[in-house]
Chain A
Amino acid sequence: MNKLRASVLMRHEVGLHARPSVKLTKLAKAFESHIDLGLSPDGPWVDAKSIVKVMATKAPKDSTIYFRAEGTDAKAALEALVTLVDGDFQDGR
């Protein structure tokens, strides 16, 4: 099985705290694919659709967020997630 990968630098001032985590998780859940999130290219990985796990990563500002996704809409999911993080979580609603 091929996993697609993407990464993006997070410049959001407070990092992956409550509000950004909620936005990221809600967006991830909109896709069918299995999506993992990690803070290094080799993991460890957490389920990007789990709000508890995403928030627990406590990724600080200037972290690079790594995604890997597997499924029919993996490409679209990665594009959307990278856009969200790159856009400072402005359009997550």
Chain B
Amino acid sequence: MSENVGIVIVSHSADVARGTALMVEQMVGREVPLGWCGGDPGGGLGTSVEAIMKAIEQAWSERGVAILVDLGGAETNSEMAIEMLPEERRDRVVVCNAPVVEGAVMAATEAASGATLEAVRRTAEELTPV
């Protein structure tokens, strides 16, 4: 069981999600639990609640999971996926209001130090213009 907050990347494009996950692995390392998903089951652009739930499971940490999303449906489907989690896990998953690629790298860097879920989210959201 990892002691670090996990990171989930949700993009409409499987390539973007996979590429972002690779950047996190290569820039930050493998000490942060990581999950990603992108695209619809038919191979087109889109996101799916089921795939997001699997990605959360993959990145699960008792310390919590921070989700980075790209556009529209990625966010609403992520929120739906969180609602469908077992009750005891729901409070430990957050969607960050941050750009997906930059946010994932920043959040993972913060998570790698053993930071709390709230600190990880804050770091990712520092990127968002006010």
Contact = CB atoms under 8 A, between A and B. Distances in A.
Interface of B: 27-29, 105-106, 109-110, 112-113, 123, 126-127
A27 to B, nearest CB: 10
A26 B126 contact: no
11 contacts: A25-B109, A26-B112, A29-B113, A50-B123, A50-B126, A51-B105, A51-B109, A52-B106, A52-B123, A52-B126, A55-B106
A23 B113 CA distance: 12
Contacts of A18: 27, 105
Interface string A72-93: 0000000000000000000001
Contacts of A93: 29
Report whether over half of chain B's contact residues are helix, strand or loop; otherwise say mixed.
helix
Given A18-B105, A51-B106, A51-B110, A26 B123 contact: no
Report whether over half of chain A's contact residues are helix, strand or loop; otherwise say mixed.
helix
B128 to A, nearest CB: 10
Interface residues of A, number: 13
Interface in A27-81: 29-30, 49-52, 55
A3 interface: no
Contacts of A10: none
A26 B105 contact: no
B113 A22 contact: no
Contacts of B123: 50-52
